């Protein structure tokens, strides 16, 4: 828009006085037209992405270890909503659709959106494209609390894993922020290295717990790699309100995060309480991560890949990042989970291994891409 205004000023100086008023009107009309097109784009694109996401979710119902015919899916939906139909749906298909596939499809959408948005927050706060709750160790911290809960047998209740996961996620965040606060080298690289070290440390603790409690070995191992196989409608019912509240809160602070991208001192001069915003936003994001991890296990790299792709396509505005990350993150995890349960059918792969196959090479690419700026810091 600034380019258009500048061009209009240059052209205006070359226009005769009698036509200057008409040229100004034309320039203003062009500026407002471009602005309206941009605004309309950010209204139409979410609708388009939502439609694509809905079609992908519907398609995932048919695909699995056993493919379900369209007639059976259609008949099951009709019966579920008490619409009269001549289609006879076997109990096996009905149970598979409503108790196995639909819960994990819905959870993949919710978890993927949550992880992607939290990745946007961490990258904005630390002003580094390779920051991610998984790489910084927040997800691993939550996994430690959940592993302890599984060993103690608390996983039989809905919140038996969630509460310990939330507590250890927050403790991990406090530890990382403490390292960053009291370290002589308060750089993003210090926090990244701290998070990587924590990942290894927590993984070793979980391995020791598995060795000591071998009866829980398979459950903990599969869970630490990420899995949506055991999710239920009850867990979805708890995640939805937590996710909505967190998204509203983070979206409310998106403008402050945009201002903080200019630098902490610049944001303070404008009136942004940078310390309070940083702590509160990170706490909310870590709580959301803890809830997701407690239900789905550790699923890495979604918060790394998706925000970077969105930033390339739609710019660095956090409002746009949050909006489009919801769709792209949900789609990414939906595809990954569908692959995880179909590639080796009838066996199933941990969904975290699928996301790692895409995320680890991309992480290396970002490290190499940002190497000069890293040295500069």
Q: Answer yes or no: are the C-beta atoms of 178 and 146 closer than 8 Å.
A: no
For the chain, the helix, strand and coil percentages under 3-state DSSP, each to the nearest 5: 80, 0, 20
Pick from 153, 115, 136, 157: which is nearest to 290 by CA?
115
Going through the chain in order, the beta strands assigned E by DSSP cover none
Q: Residue 141: which H helix or E strand, with range?
A: helix 138-151
pLDDT confidence of residue 183: 58
Per-residue pLDDT at 371? 62
The pair of structure tokens assigned to 326 is 């919801």
What is the predicted pLDDT for the residue at 30? 56
pLDDT at 5: 43
DSSP 66-108: SPPPHHHHHHHHHHHTT---S----HHHHHIIIIIIHHHHHHH
Instruction: Report the b/e string of 296-311 with b at 16+ CB within 10 A.
Output: bbbbbbbbbbbbbbbb
Could you tell me which CATH number the domain at 102-376 has? Answer: 1.10.3470.10
Angstrom distances, CA of residue 68 to CA of 59, 96, 102, 109: 10, 9, 13, 21
Chain-centroid distance of CA 262 in Å reads 24
User: Rounded to two decimals, what is the model's pTM?
Assistant: 0.83
Tell me what pLDDT residue 186 has: 55
In the chain, what are the domain boundaries?
Answer: 1-62, 102-376
**pLDDT of the residue at 340:** 92
Asked if omega into 346 is within 30° of 0 (cis), the reply is yes
pLDDT tens across the length of the chain (377 residues):
444 444 444 444 554 555 445 544 445 445 544 445 556 666 888 899 999 999 999 999 999 888 899 999 999 999 888 888 888 889 999 999 999 999 999 999 999 999 999 999 999 988 888 888 888 888 888 888 888 888 888 876 767 788 888 899 999 888 888 876 665 555 667 777 788 888 889 888 988 888 888 777 777 877 788 889 889 999 999 999 999 999 999 999 999 998 888 888 888 888 888 888 988 999 999 999 999 988 998 898 999 999 999 998 888 888 889 999 999 999 999 999 999 999 887 888 889 889 988 888 888 887 777 665 444 44
| Local structure of 52: helix, strand or coil | helix
Closest CA to 285 of 123, 161, 122: 122
């Amino acid at each position: 828009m600034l380019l258009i205004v500048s061009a209009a000023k240059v052209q205006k100086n070359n226009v005769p006085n009698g036509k200057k008023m008409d040229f100004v009107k034309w320039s203003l009309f062009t500026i407002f037209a471009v602005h309206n097109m941009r605004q309309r784009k950010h209204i139409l694109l979410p609708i388009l992405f939502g439609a694509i996401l809905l079609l992908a979710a519907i398609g995932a119902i048919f695909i699995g270890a056993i493919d379900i015919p369209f007639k059976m899916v259609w008949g099951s939906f009709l019966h579920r909503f008490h619409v009269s139909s001549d289609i006879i749906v076997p109990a096996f298909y009905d149970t598979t659709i409503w108790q196995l596939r639909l819960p994990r499809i819905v959870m993949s959408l919710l978890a993927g959106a949550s992880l992607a948005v939290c990745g946007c927050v961490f990258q904005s706060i630390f002003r580094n494209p390779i920051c991610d709750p998984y790489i910084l160790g927040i997800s691993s911290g939550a996994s430690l609390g959940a592993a302890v809960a599984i060993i103690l047998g608390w996983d039989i209740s809905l919140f038996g894993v969630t509460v310990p996961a939330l507590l250890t996620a927050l403790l991990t965040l406090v530890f990382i922020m403490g390292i960053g606060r009291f370290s002589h080298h308060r750089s993003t690289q210090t926090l990244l290295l701290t998070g990587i070290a924590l990942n290894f440390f927590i993984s070793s603790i979980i391995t020791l717990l598995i060795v000591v409690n071998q009866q829980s070995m398979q459950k903990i191992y599969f869970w630490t790699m990420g899995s949506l196989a055991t999710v239920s409608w009850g867990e979805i019912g708890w995640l939805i309100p937590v996710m909505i509240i967190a998204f509203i809160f983070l979206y409310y602070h998106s403008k402050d995060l945009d201002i903080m991208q200019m630098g902490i001192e610049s944001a303070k001069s404008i009136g942004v309480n940078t310390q309070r915003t940083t702590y509160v936003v990170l706490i909310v994001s870590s709580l959301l991560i803890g809830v997701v991890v407690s239900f789905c296990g550790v699923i890495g790299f979604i918060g790394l890949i998706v925000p970077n792709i969105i930033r390339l396509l739609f710019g660095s505005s956090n409002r746009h990042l949050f909006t489009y990350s919801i769709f792209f993150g949900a789609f990414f995890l939906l595809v990954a989970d569908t692959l995880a349960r179909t590639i080796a059918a009838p066996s199933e792969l941990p969904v975290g291994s699928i996301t790692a196959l895409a995320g680890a090479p991309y992480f290396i690419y970002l490290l190499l891409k940002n190497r000069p700026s890293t040295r500069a810091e």
